[in-house]
Structure formats: C-alpha cells, structure tokens
Chains A and B, each alone.
Chain A
Amino acid sequence: MSSGEVFINTEHLTRDFRIGKDTLRAVDDVSFELGRGETFGLVGESGCGKSTLGRLLVRLYKPTSGKILYKGKSVANLNKRESFEYTKDVQMIFQQPYASLNPRMTIGEIIKEGMRIHQLGSAKEMSERVSGLLNMVGLNAEHANRFPYEFSGGMRQRAGIARALAVNPEFVVCDEPISALDVSIQAQIINLLKRLQSELNLTYLFIAHDLSTVRYISDHIGVMYLGSIVEVANAEELNINPLHPYTQALISAAPIPDPAKENERVRIMLEGDVPSPINFGAGCKFAGRCKFANDNCREEAPALRKLPSGHAIACHRMEEINMVE
C-alpha cells in the first residue's frame, strides 16, 4: 500500500486540441497526486478527457500547459537519458485488446520488443523472461509463438498486460482494460491486476467509465466531467457519500443487478447528453445539466477545494445541496 510519498502528480495540467478554428479542451487544469503502490481510479463518461489524461501521463501527448511531476521532477525537464528511462518506468495497458497488439507479430515478439529497445538482457534471457511473464499473467510459455488473432479477448488482454510489464515498469496506466471483455472474464483480469500490483509494488492509474469496478480496485477515485476533475475521494467514501451532483447522478444511473433494489430506488435523472467540449465558456461545465445550478454557477467555474474529510470537490453549492439531502 501507499508509503505516503507522492510518486507522480500533475499541476494544472491542460491539453487542447485544435479542430479547425475551434479549440477542444480535453483536459482542463487537472491537479492530482498519486502515492507509490496506490491505485487512482479515474471515472467519467465518454469524451470527459480521462483517456487523454492517461495518455498525457505516458507522454503520448504533450501538455498544452501545466506539468507532470514524476518523483518530484518535472517530466518536461528530463534529459534524453532520463526521458528514455521514463518510457520504461511508465507503461500503458490499452482498452482494445484487438487493436493494441500488432497483428503481424507473434505474442513473444510483442512482449520482447520493449525489452529489446531497453536492452534488458541477452536474447536467451529475454526469451526466458517472456515465458516467465506469460506464466505470470496466466498464459502458457508456448503461447509466445502464436499470433494475436489466435487469441480470445481475455487472452489478448493478458498478453497486453505481459507486454506492459516486460520492462519492469513502476507505474502503469490502465485505460479501460476490461470494458471490452465479457463479464465473467472481467473478474479474472481485475484479480490478475490486483495480484500483480501486490507482487510487483506497481502504481496504477485505472481509467474506467463504470464506478463499480473502479471502486473495487482503487484507493482513491477522481470523477471527471468535460476535462475537469469534479470530485476526488477515498474509494469507499465516494460511493457511500458522493457530494458532487454529477457523481450522485452517475452512481444513481448505474443499474443495480438486483431487481428488488432496482425497482425501489429513486433515480436522479440527468437530462440530455454530455455537451460538446469545444469552445466552452465560463462557468461550471455541469451547470447545463445540474438541477441546482444558479447564475453564479453559470458565470464562474468552481475550483476543486479540499474538505476537512479529505474529500475534494468542485461545486459552489456543495454545502446547500448536501444539507437538503
């Protein structure tokens, strides 16, 4: 578990994309921190910027402004050697096990590629390590000679995990690693990720759109909406006592697999879809769908503020809303 030190953190991280004349702000002024050996869960609906944030952390994208600090050092200021080291230390598990493995390479070659680039041992040592990794993720050594198309989704995701772990990373960004898998397979992969974390002392950023999974694997959870983190809390606390109206709606919208409970409960229904993040004006981004929104909400964007309980929330009317309930 966490040793208390800040392992990786971001400060006012922002990323824009140009779309013709318009600007899409995918990640907007995001600051959060993550201790070593911890799992930070990041939830939100499609288009909220959670994957972009993950990709910023593995440096697949460059930030427009703000910075990422890795063990206290700004990632943008790393020299060439340190940068190279960073690509080894920080790995990613992708959402689509079908699209993220090169179809022309065998599973063994895919796993070995990173090791070869980082020169982690002789050819023989690498082959041995591939067998070891395949066993570790629940595949067989003989699978190294197979091609991705011969595998089912769950097996591919295991191969993707072996690939990420091949270079001994310290930090792994898991970008919706189970959402493309069947229910009975999802539990297998979650158990695997948890076991590997405790064996290898890994730090995870776990991205998902489904709170129930994230709750199980995470220590802390951040909820994103249109590029901003609107609420951060301890995983249990967030599920039992969500304070932001968006988090409350998100939890309320997820169907409970129990017909009696499902029929009884009262849903907080959100109107409409998530609005477009292009050229967003001032004010709280959730104001358009929030039943508590007033003029102040529409004019001034709320900052993420920390409460004495450790909960952090970006909402002007948090106190009034949660008094009512």
Chain B
Amino acid sequence: MIVIIEIKDLRVSFHTYFGEVQAVRGVNLKLNDNDTLAIVGESGCGKSVTALSIMRIHNMETTEFKSGKILFDGTDLFKLSEKEMQNIRGNQIGMIFQDPMTALNPSMTVGNQIAEVLLRHGRDANAKRLSSKDAKERAIELLRRVKTPSPERRANQFPYEFSGGMLQRAVIAMAMACSPKVLIADEPTTALDVTVQAQILDLIKEMQSERRVSLIIITHDLGVVANIAKNVAVMYGGLIVESGAIGDIFYRSSHPYTRGLLDSISRKNGAKNEPLRSIEGTPPDLVDPPAGCPFTDRCEYAMRVCKDHMPPESALSETHLCRCWMLDPECPLKLERRKL
C-alpha cells in the first residue's frame, strides 16, 4: 500500500489571550492511497487543526508548529515555501469546508469561483494554461458532474441564490476541479439536513471512486463514519486515543472514550425509561493539559497511574492502536464488553 500522507509527531499550539492552547499534542497518522480516513472527536479535540495543518491554512500570527512533519508523497510540507505550498493547495490537495455559505465568496458568481481554481492550476492537453473561456466551460462541466440542475444558468448565479445542499455541491466541484490526490472534508455535512446529507455523502463517494482520490473526513457523527470510512482515528484532548480499521473501532473498540461515544448514541435498543449512557464531565482545558491521559477525569475506569502518566500506544493488531493503561499486561482492570 502506498502511503500518500504521513503525519509524524505533529504538535500545534495557538497563542491566545488565555495562554498557549496546545491544540494538537503529538499526532501520528497515515493516509493510504485510495483510502478513506475519518478523524472523529468532539469540538476542541484537535481534529480540524490536524487536518488544516496539512493545508497550512492557519492564522500564522497566532499558530506555532511546535514539532513534527507532514509528508505528502514524500515531500515535507513544512519545508516548502508559501509559494510552493500554493501550488499544492487546491491542486494536489482539495478541501471541502463545513459551512458552504461561508466557504464561498458572496460577491462572485459560483461559476467564476470554480473557474478561478482552474485558471490558477489547470492545464489543457498540451500542458498550457487554460483560457478563461475554457476554464468557464470546465466549471460548467464540473457543476453538471456534481448533479447541479441547469449548470449553465447556475454558473452565472451568486451563492445566495443557491440552497445549502447545492452550494456544498459547488464546493465539491471546486475541490475536485484539478483532480487532487487528496481531498480533505471538514465536517462536510454538518450544516445540512439529513436527506441532503445522504445525497452529499453519496456524491463524495462517487467522486472518490471515479477519480481515485484519498479522502480525509473530519466529523463528530459516527453515523457518517460508518457510512463512508475505511479507517478511523478517534481524537481526544489533542491526541489520537484510538485508531484502526472501521471494524476495530465499531466492533472491537478498546478505549473507554470510544466506547462512551458509541454508547451515548446507541439509542436504538435502550429501554425507554432507562437513562442514556452518557459521558459525565467535560473535555480537558488544553491551556493546561493534564500530564497523563486526557480522559482521566471522565473515565469510569481511571486508576492512579492514568492521572500522571501518559499511556503508551499499544498495538492490538496490525491496524488497531489504542492509548490506554488498561491494555498494559500488568493492569488488573479490563474494559467491560457491553452489547451495543
């Protein structure tokens, strides 16, 4: 398997009024060619920061990359100049943002916004830059490809004339315009209604298999993960606490946080008058993150060692990694197997 993106020991901090927020605290990730990796976690766990680091689109006045590297096809993205990076963004790595209403320029027609990407990066059959006429034609073609009705008319309209679902299609068209190798989708369906979400997820999957693009999808919705992902990384408190193939996470999860997340959404079989299983408490403050496992305060299994010492990553199988002291061979506690 070819590894297309490899993140090694990524640490990212933001300097804020309250102090240094350690948003990502040592993340290792691999994305294989033609793979779909879902990064799951709650708000503030560092999932978006990790993915946006690949694109290097943070506000550099407040962001500090403390350590680590991101290899894209063998190239270390942190070593590239801004100019070189611009040739990768939108060209080799595409991005779909959460809220299509704010991701597009409100004062530019949708067609022109898609054409802009093509004018900047696109080449014709003779490796020549595209003329604006060709770019516009390709933009319309892309709108048609993402199933926009009457694309010629739509291309000349402004974002406010589109519905949320149609806009997200336009954003997907834009991200796919230069046939990137990697597509990063940051909560692509969170702002959409369920019936539209189903359409958009289908479209992303279709585009992915058609153009053989590797996908990183960031989401907090385990239903979306189940629908689209092949591999999953669960983040909590700036760390990946568990990662593995989709079956490892859904059927063999070994971290109490992953288990808690799965439990709190399994409303299907629960008896009606029984309270839902919830995870009490709130995520840790990353200005002053705990020295040990970040989940300690909310974990029903927490031991003394958890508070002060960071659990090592244990390999449960070739694909399945988990950070929990309960996996230590000397630990007498075992994660209770609950039926979902």
- List chain A positions with a Cβ less than 8 A from chain B: 45-46, 152-155, 182-188, 190-191, 194-195, 209-210, 212-213, 215-216, 249-250, 252-259, 261-262, 267, 269-270, 272-274
B156 within 8 A of A: no
A255, B279: Cα distance in complex, Å: 22
B163's nearest neighbour on chain A, judged by CB, is A273
Question: In the bound complex, what is the Cα–Cα distance between A210 and B268 (angstroms)?
Answer: 13
Majority SS at the chain A contact face: helix
B225 close to A (CB within 8 Å):
yes
The smallest C-beta distance from A242 to any residue of chain B, in angstroms, reads 14
Q: A187-B277, A259-B246 are in contact. List 20 more A-B contacts (CB 8 A).
A: A45-B194, A45-B196, A185-B42, A185-B282, A186-B278, A187-B264, A191-B276, A210-B194, A249-B195, A250-B194, A253-B198, A255-B201, A257-B226, A257-B262, A258-B340, A259-B250, A262-B227, A269-B202, A270-B198, A273-B196
Set of chain B residues within 8 Å of A256, measured between Cβ atoms: 223, 226
* Contact among A152, A155, A257, A274 with B250 in the assembled complex (CB-CB below 8 Å): A257
Given contacts A257-B223, A257-B226, contact A216 B276 (CB under 8 A): yes
Find out whether the CB atom of A184 lies under 8 angstroms from the CB atom of B279. Answer: yes
Q: Which of B166, B221, B226 has the most CB of A within 10 A?
A: B226
Q: Complex Cα distance A255/B246, Å? A: 15
Give the B interface residue count (CB, 8 A).
Answer: 46
What's the nearest-Cβ distance from chain A to residue B189, in Å?
9
Q: How far is the CA of A187 from the CA of B163 in the complex (A)?
A: 31
Which residues of chain A are within 8 angstroms of B264 by Cβ–Cβ distance? Answer: 183-184, 186-187
User: Which residues on the B side are within 8 Å of A188 (C-beta)?
Assistant: 278-280
8 shortest interchain CB distances as A-B pairs: A255-B223, A187-B278, A45-B193, A184-B279, A257-B222, A182-B42, A187-B264, A187-B276
B275 and A46 contact, CB distance less than 8 A: no
A258 and B226 contact, CB distance less than 8 A: yes
27 contacts between A and B (CB under 8 A): A45-B193, A46-B193, A152-B282, A153-B43, A183-B222, A183-B264, A184-B278, A184-B279, A186-B278, A190-B278, A191-B275, A209-B193, A212-B267, A215-B267, A255-B201, A255-B223, A255-B226, A256-B223, A257-B226, A257-B250, A258-B226, A258-B250, A259-B247, A267-B198, A269-B202, A270-B199, A274-B195
